[in-house]
Structure 1
C-alpha cells in the first residue's frame, strides 16, 4: 500500500509533460496550416486585383479625356492649346454671336411703344421695320381693319414696359435650326371670324304655335287629324258631339219661327191699325222686338262657339229647311258627305285650327269626354323656329340684334344660319348667363323642337385678315410675341441665322389660325412648329433680369 502511494506523483508528472508536449506540437502544426492558406490566398488574389486596377485606370483616363483618344501630337507633347469659342449664354460660337458683338449685325431702329396699336416697334406705323426685301405700303383697309379689331375684346394686353421685343435668338447654322425642330411659315392673309359662343336650344316659335280645345263640353265623335298631318287655317281637327250646340240650334229655329209670327202679326195690325187699339199694336211691337232679341242672343252664342249663322238666308227657309241647314253648321262641305250618312244628330261641333302648320300633339281619341279646359291638339308652323342661346355676361358687350348666328346641333355636321332677334335685359342670378334669341328659317322643316347644340354669334368677319398659325404666338410673361426670321438669313453661309422677337396684338382665332391686329405683315417669315425652342432660349437669356418692367 505504501509503495503505491509514493509512486503515484511521479507517474502524474510524467504524464503531464507528455500531454504538454503533444499540445505544443498540435499548435505549431495549426499555425503552419493557417500561414500556408494565407500565402495561397494572397498569391491567388494578385491576378483579380491587377485586373480591377487596370479597369479603374481606364475609367479614370476616359472620364478625364471625355472618352476620346488623344492625338499623336498630344502623346508626344507637341499639341497646340485649345481656344474656347462658345457663348453659353446665347448658345452659339462667341465669334459669331450678334448679341455679344453687335457690330456683327446692327439692331433695327427702336421706335418703342405704339400706344395706338398696343405693340412695340409697330410695323403699321413703321413698315421699314418689316423683315422684307422691300418696305411694304400699308393700305387704308388694313388700318381700318386694325381699328375695328381693337374695339373687340382681347384675352391679354401687352405691357408697354416689356423689353423682350429688342431680343434676338441666333442659331449657329441653318442645320442647327433644323436639328432643333424649328419650322417656319409665311405670314398670309386668310378669312377670319370673331364670334362668341354658347349652348343653345331650338324651339317652336311660340308666336306660330297654338293649342286647341273644344269650346264646349261634349264627347269626341270623330278625330280628323293625327300627329304629323299638315293642316291649313280653318281645317277641322275633330268633331265633338255637344248638347249645348244642339240646344242652341233648336232654340234658333224656334225663335226664328216666333220672330216670323210676330212680324206677320205686327204687319197685320198695322194694316188695320185704325180699327185696332193702340195698346194692342204696342204689345205686338214689343213681342216682335223680344223675338228679335232672342234671335240675336242665340246667334251670338253660336258665334262665340265659332259657328257663323246667316240669319237672312235662314229666315227665307221653312223650318224643315232651316233645321237641315243648321244641322251641319260649321262643318266643311268636304266632310258633310261623309258625316251625313252616319249621323242624324244636330249636336256636332267642329274643333278647327286657326293657323296653318303641322299637328305636333294629339291628346284625344274618339269617344272621350272633353271640356273647355283640356287641350286636344297642338299645331305649329315650323317654317320658322327660335334658337335660344345662353351667352356669358362678359361676352355680351359687342352682341347686337341683326348679327348672324351659326348653330351646330349635337351629333350633326349640318350648319344652321339665323340672325339675332332679341337680347334679354337681365342675366341669370346663378349662372350669369344672358338669354339671346335668334330666328332660324326652316323652309324644308328639317329643324326639330328641343334640339340642343352650340351657337356662335358672328361679331366680325374679315375675308383678308393678316393671320398666323395659332401655335406660333407665345405669351412670355408680359407680351404676346412671335419670332420673325431675319430677311438676310439665307444671303450667305456666313450671314447670321437670327430670329427677331416681335410683340404682336392678336385678334380672333378661327380654324387653327389667329388674326394679327398689329405686329407682323404679309410676306414675313415666322417660326411655327418648334418655336417653343426659341421661347425657351429667350426665357433662359432673361433669367435674373426679368422680362419686363411693370407699368
Structure 2
C-alpha cells in the first residue's frame, strides 16, 4: 500500500502560513497581531482563504453551490485571480482545478455540478411566495441526490448534524498520509503543543426544554353517561377524593326508563318460565300440542335476551344491574331496593386524586357529553422534552432525568424517560421524549415549563481528546498523533459527547497516545492544500 509522506520545510512562504495561525504575526508583512488587515499582499483580497485558511471552516459551506463559502468563485468572482496566482485554475471549464469534477473524479467539492433548486412548498394564495427554501421546511440531506432527470446532479446543503457528530467518510484516505518536518527544530519553531489522550470518568448531561403535564393515565375529565339534571354536587375544587366516591348525582330520564324496562323484562321472564313449565307437563300428558310448548320455550328465551340487553345498558351507564325479580306479582319498587326503579345517575371518581376542575351547577340540564368534573392524581406528573434529532440516540427508556421547574431552580425533581417518539415533529423539527416524575410535594404543576437535564453518561470511563486537537479535514474529524519529533500521523475520529473542553473518542485513538493541540490546524492545511492551491511541502509517494 502506498503512503503519502508530506515533507515540510520552514521556508518564507510556509512561515507566512504558519505564524498567523499561531498568533505570533497578523500577516506576512509583520503587522501587529491585534490589527485588522484590509487586504493580503499576495492576492489583494479582503478575506483571503489562502493567507487565512481558518476562513474555510469558519464560513462553512455555500448553501447555493455546495462548496466552502470562502472558496466559492461563483459567489466571490474576485477569487479567480487568486486561484490563477496559485496555479489552481482549469481553463477548459473556468473553475478552480481543485473544484473541477469533470477533470478530477471523486473530488469532495465539485463546482461543475449542475444545481437544481428544490420545488417551492405549497402555499395559499394569500401568502407571499418565499424565496429559496422555506424557513419551516425540513433541512436538506448532506451530499448529492440523483434527480429523476437523467445526467443531472443535484447539490444540496449540508444536514443539521454538527461536524463533531459526523462519522468519518469511508472513502477518505486521510490516514494514509504522513506529515514529516524537515528537521527536529521545525515543530518547536512552529510552536506546536501536545496533550496525551487519557481515559477518564465521564458524567454527561443534556439540557432540553420541558413542558409539564398530568400523567394521562391518572387524569380524567368526567361527563355523565346520559343526559340529565344535576341534583347533587358533593365535592368542590381541591377536594381529595377516593376511587369510587360519588362526586355528583344527576336525575336522568334515560336511566329511569332503562330500569323500568329491566323490571318489566324480569317479570316477563318469570311469567314465561311458569308457562313453559306448564306446557312441558301438558305435552307429556298429551293434553297440548308440541307447537304451544315450543312457543313457550321461544318466548322464555327472548325474554332472557331482553333482560341481558337491559343489564348491559345499565352497566354501560355505570350502574348496578343485579336487580331481583318481584315476588308473587308484587309491583312495589321496594322489592328492587331503595332506588331500583329510580332515575339517579351518580358521577364517580375513577381513582384516588384531587378535583382540579368543576363546572357542575345544581338544577342545570346537561347533555351526555358535557364535562362536569376533572380529577387528577398530582402525586405523579409527566413532562414532554423536546430533543434534537442528533441527540435522540442518547435517549433510552429508563434514562434518569432531573427536571428544574420554572421558579424552583434549586429543587430538581428526579424521574425516568418512558417513551421516545419514532417521528420528528413537523413544526419544531425536534423529537418528543416523555418522562415521568414522582411529585409528592406538588412542586410540579401542569402547564408549567422547565429545563430537563438528561443524564446520558453517569461516570463510565471514556477516552477524551482536547478540542484544540480536533480539526475538520473536509469529510471527517481528524487529530494528529505525534510519532516522533518530526512525524505526525492524521487519524480519522468518531466522536461522542462534547464536555466543553474535550470530545469523547469512540474510535480513532488509543489511550496514552500524544496528539497535537496548538498548531494542529497548520498540519490540517497540509492535508487540504489541494483544495486551496499550492501548499508549502513536497509530497512523495513511497511504497509501503
TM-score, scaled relative to structure 2: 0.48
Bigger radius of gyration, 1 or 2? 1
* Higher percent of residues as helix: 1
